[in-house]
Amino acid sequence: MNTNYKLAIKKNNNNKYLWMLAGGDMQLLTAKIAKKNNYNLLITDKNKNASCRSIADKFFDVDIVDINKNYQILKKIKFKISGVFTMASDCHLTVNAIAKKLKLHHTPIKISKLCKNKIKTRNFLKKFFLQPKSFIIKNYSQYKKKVKELKCEYVIKHLNLSGSKGFRSFDKNFVMSDSFFKKIKHEINNSQGILIEEKIQKSKDVNYSEMSVESLWQDGKIIFFNCVDRIFKRDLGGLTNFKSKIFDNVKDGYEIGHINPSEISKKKKLEIKKLVRKLGLHLGYDQLTGCHVLKLDIFFSSKGPIILEMTPRFSGGYDSTGSSYIRGLRLSEAMIKICQGEKFYKSDFKHYFKANKLKVLVLSRYISGKRSFYLNASRTINKRSINEIFKKIKNNQTIKNEQIKY
């Protein structure tokens, strides 16, 4: 699907450089928009062959989560940076650390550190919100002890892996072997430990077990709110009764797609909005000046909504850099504005945050280690649109960010 977008081109001083951390496929849209708006781009990405390298004015193959190595780049550049940001990548701590060092607009480091660390996140959230039982384990004996304590289905994940990476699910009272535990423990370098927590059960009141919620806070007030239904293999029954083996090999914790905007009821949406506001107040967003992003991943459990993740960035997974643009939202442009310390006025809202009436269904698959996306955009998500997207998957009709014209 090719969609044309008209951008409001703003003439800027050509000496202005924006620093974008991460330059893969998910960042192509934002890189093109920055260039079209007359900005120079400094991009860092560990992959020497990153998709955005050819677009960048300056490129450094540096790991985006390595703060010290990114600090070293500052010694090598002679030009002035006017803003530091990321889109669809979990490196907000590096972004805010660099911006702070450059005395540029940023979200407080303490918020980034809290959001980045799974244990700190859980300990913070359980003071105010419903949370699953969870423990950090560093050896096999601790693991066996906690399995007995939980007495329920459970999941494990590495502390320093984001999203569904390293996610594994186990039955009640199942104890893996010592050798398999060691294999998991050493499957990533510099593991900070393993988190074991109770596996929460999906509510029967919703079709889709999880939701991503994006909010933008300006001078302490929420001015933007967007919900996206996250689809997992467990949710396919709510999407379609179409019999297919396409997702049979997908693990439980891996997101396979989303619906943008969410199809959740207005009543539940209001409940979630109140939850986001409450969290923002506890984090101190109401005390911050300027614009700051707060994104949540929420699980609809049988006991009530559970905040799984909180982060000071826009969503990844094609939400902010694909389906939201098809809906008319200008999140990349908004992020460019935010990182430079600019604010939104009433006249700006329609340009950046006014959505059209399209609903976008996105499904994805990992093929040869790379994630491929398939989408269908229409006024309603119905049997016809669902059948069409499964047909696209069968025929491998992928959609890529570079196919969308801006």
Same domain for 323 and 302: yes
Query: Is position 3 within any domain?
Result: no
Residue 374 is assigned to a structural domain of this protein: yes
Which residues on neighbouring strands pair with residue 170, listed in sequence order?
154
Average of per-residue pLDDT across 313-323:
87
CATH number of the domain encompassing residue 97: 3.40.50.20
**pLDDT for residue 324:** 93
pLDDT value, residue 4: 34
- According to DSSP, the residues that pair with 291 across neighbouring strands are 218
Q: Are residues 164 and 257 both part of a single domain?
A: no
Q: How many CB atoms lie within 10 A of CB 153?
A: 15
pLDDT at res. 379: 93
Out of 170, 198, 226, pick the residue that ends a domain: 198
167 lies in the same domain as 234: no
> What is the pLDDT averaged over residues 234-238?
84
Among residues 198, 222, 253, the one where a domain terminates is 198
Long-range contacts of 59-62 (CB under 8 A, 24+ apart): 59/23
Q: Given a cut of 80, is residue 397 above it in pLDDT?
A: yes
Q: Residue 194 sits in a domain of what CATH number?
A: 3.30.1490.20
Average pLDDT over residues 258-266: 94
Q: What is the pLDDT of residue 2?
A: 34
More confident site: 5 or 84: 84
Specify the CATH number for the domain of residue 372: 3.30.470.20
Query: Quick one: 42 and 62 in the same domain?
Result: yes
Same domain, 267 and 381: yes
Rounded to an integer, what distance in angstroms lies between the CA atom of residue 401 and that of residue 2? Answer: 10
Give the pLDDT band of residue 317 (cuts 50, 70, 90): confident
Which residues, other chains included, contact 281 with Cβ-Cβ below 8 Å and sequence gap of 6+? none
Q: Is residue 346 within 8 Å of 362, Cβ to Cβ? A: no
In a domain, 126, yes or no: no
Of 87, 115, 143, the position where a domain reaches its end is 115
pLDDT at 113: 96
Question: Does the pLDDT value for residue 8 go beyond 60?
Answer: no
pLDDT of residue 1: 32
Q: Are residues 239 and 387 in the same domain?
A: yes
Tell me what the mean pLDDT of segment 231-240 comes to: 86
- pTM comes to 0.88
Average pLDDT (142-162) is 88
Q: Is residue 264 part of a domain?
A: yes
What's the pLDDT tens digit per position in 179-194?
A: 999 888 888 776 677 8
Evaluate if residue 63 carries a pLDDT over 90: yes
Model confidence at 224, pLDDT cuts 50, 70, 90, reads: confident
Q: Binning pLDDT at 50, 70 and 90, where does residue 367 land?
A: confident
- In this structure, is residue 125 part of a structural domain? no
Residue 321: pLDDT band with limits 50, 70, 90: confident
- 74 and 141 share one domain: no
Q: 174 and 50 in one domain?
A: no
Residues 276 and 308 placed together within one structural domain of the fold: yes
Q: Residue 61: helix, strand or coil by DSSP?
A: coil
Could you list the residue range(s) of the whole structural domain that residue 90 is in? Answer: 17-115
2 within a domain of the structure (yes/no): no
Mean pLDDT of the chain: 89
Tens-place pLDDT, residues 184-222: 888 877 667 788 999 999 999 899 999 999 999 999 999
Are residues 351 and 229 both part of a single domain?
Answer: yes
3-state SS, 4-38, equals ECCCCCCCCCCCCEEEEECCCHHHHHHHHHHHHCC
At residue 9 the predicted structure's pLDDT band, cuts being 50, 70 and 90, is very low
- Residue 398 CA, chain-centre distance (Å), reads 21
- Structural domains in the chain (count): 3
Same domain, yes or no, for 192 and 268? Answer: no
CA distance 320 to 310: 16
Residue 203 lies in a domain: no
β-strand pairing of 168-170 with 81-85: unpaired
pLDDT tens per residue, range 107-119: 999 999 999 988 8
95 and 193, same structural domain? Answer: no
Query: Does residue 79 fall inside a structural domain?
Result: yes
Whole-number CA gyration radius for the chain: 21
- C-alpha–C-alpha distance, residues 169 and 179, integer Å: 18
Tell me the three-class secondary structure of 133-170, residue by residue: CEEEECCHHHHHHHHHHHCCCEEEEECCCCCCCCCEEE
Q: Find how far residue 119's CA is from the centre of its chain.
A: 19
